[in-house]
Amino acid sequence: MGAQELDLAGLRRVYGRAGSRCFYALVARNARHWGWTEPGQSKWRLWRAQRQVEDVLGRKLALPAGARVLDAGCGSGVVARAMATRFGLLVAGVDVLDVLLAEARRLSARAALADRTAFTGGDYHRLPFGDGEFDGAYSMETLVHSYDPRRALAEFHRVLRPGGRLVLIGPMSLGPLEEMEPGVRTVLEPYLDAHVLPGARIYHARNLPRLLAEAGFEVEEALDATPYYLPTTEALHVYFRLPWELVRRFGDPAKWLNLRTTVEMYAVRNVTGWYVHTAVKPSR
Ligand SMILES: C[S@@+](CC[C@H](N)C(=O)[O-])C[C@H]1O[C@@H](n2cnc3c(N)ncnc32)[C@H](O)[C@@H]1O
């Protein structure tokens, strides 16, 4: 079962350290999400792949310009700014890490987007917003950090207006951990613990549509997007296998968790998938 409470220290360890922020700034221009590669495209162009998954999100939200949208787990606000500039949305980002929120505000101000992107400290299991405030909500690779996915989905449902749209993008295991072979769990579980991914112990590709329905959503689509994500997994593995090996042998691996993630995602690629869930809060 999950941790049942926020592991703030763990999330700070994964995303808050200076080394981690530097890693994401250099490798991913502050985005903390994977990428989407179309068939026939080169897998080596990570930044293009990252922009493409943001475009997938905007298309699945399918909201008119000016719509109000919640970004649950906004990090440095890369996705929020993409939604604002490319889809005309007004985005309210929430994150538990102050240091990332400060980055998000600074980067949005620099991009002259402070009037279209706002960032607030908060845990998405108890959102600091009123009922029905949003036309849409999304989570880009953050639900997997949830210690109580049912509660998170209930909160997304509460803050959406009737007819509001929800898009969840991210990795998850293909089925319950208990059904996996012991050898696979030996690889997967330390990875989930190190990266503070309690959600991955609770939801998976087979039960997330049911959890959405239990929270009151109508599930429009549960898209298995794994083939679009695997090229990024492969490219990152090639780019970072050697640096990770050097750190593992000669450095302090604990300080390089994000490097470890990019490499270890490869080891669990056969038991994990990448999904785009689109759901609607019914009008009545
Ligand atoms: C993988 S990063 C994704 C950041 C951003 N969505 C992006 O794509 O660049 C996960 C983010 O979720 C945030 N997070 C994790 N649990 C959270 C919670 N309970 N409430 C709010 N934010 C959370 C983390 O602090 C981190 O910034």
Answer yes or no: is 65 within a domain. Answer: yes
pLDDT tier at 3, thresholds 50, 70, 90:
low
pLDDT at residue number 261: 76
Mean pLDDT of the chain: 93
| 182-194 vs 257-267: helix crossing angle, rounded to 10 | 160
Which of 5, 24, 145, 168 most suits a substitution to test ligand 1, by most atoms within 8 Å of the C-beta?
Answer: 145
Answer yes or no: is 104 within a domain. Answer: yes
Of 117, 115, 32, 31, the closest CA to residue 70 belongs to 117
Tell me how crowded residue 67 is: count the other CB atoms within 10 A of its CB: 19
Could you tell me which residue, 180 or 71, shows the higher pLDDT?
71
pLDDT at 1 over 50: no
pLDDT at 284 over 80: no
Number of domains making up the chain: 1
Distance CA(239)–CA(237), nearest Å, equals: 6
Distance CA(139)–CA(57), nearest Å, equals: 9
Answer yes or no: is 69 within a domain. Answer: yes
Answer yes or no: is 2 within a domain. Answer: no
Residue 119 sits in a domain whose CATH number is: 3.40.50.150
Pick the atom of ligand 1 nearest to 11's CA. 25
User: Which residue range(s) make up the domain with 131?
Assistant: 8-280
* Residue 25, token pair as written in the block: 């700034």
pLDDT tier at 191, thresholds 50, 70, 90:
confident
User: pLDDT digits over 69-88, tens only?
Assistant: 999 999 999 999 999 999 99
77-102 average pLDDT score: 98
pLDDT at residue number 71: 98
Q: Ligand 1 in contact with 11 (CB < 6 A)?
A: yes
Answer yes or no: is 1 within a domain. Answer: no
Q: Ligand 1 in contact with 145 (CB < 6 A)?
A: yes
Distance CA(34)–CA(14), nearest Å, equals: 16
Closest CA to ligand 1's atom 12: 73
Closest CA to ligand 1's atom 4: 75
Answer yes or no: is 269 within a domain. Answer: yes
100-107 average pLDDT score: 97
Answer yes or no: is 239 within a domain. Answer: yes
Closest CA to ligand 1's atom 10: 142
What is the CA(136)–ligand 1 centre distance, in A?
Answer: 17
Of 139, 186, 197, 143, the closest CA to residue 166 belongs to 139
Give residue for tokens 């939200």. Answer: 61
Answer yes or no: is 139 within a domain. Answer: yes
φ, ψ for residue 121, nearest 5 deg: -75, 135
pLDDT at residue number 267: 79
User: pLDDT digits over 7-57, tens only?
Assistant: 999 999 989 888 888 888 888 899 999 999 999 999 999 999 999 999 999
Q: Which ranges of 29-97 would DSSP assign to H, the alpha helix? A: 46-61, 78-87
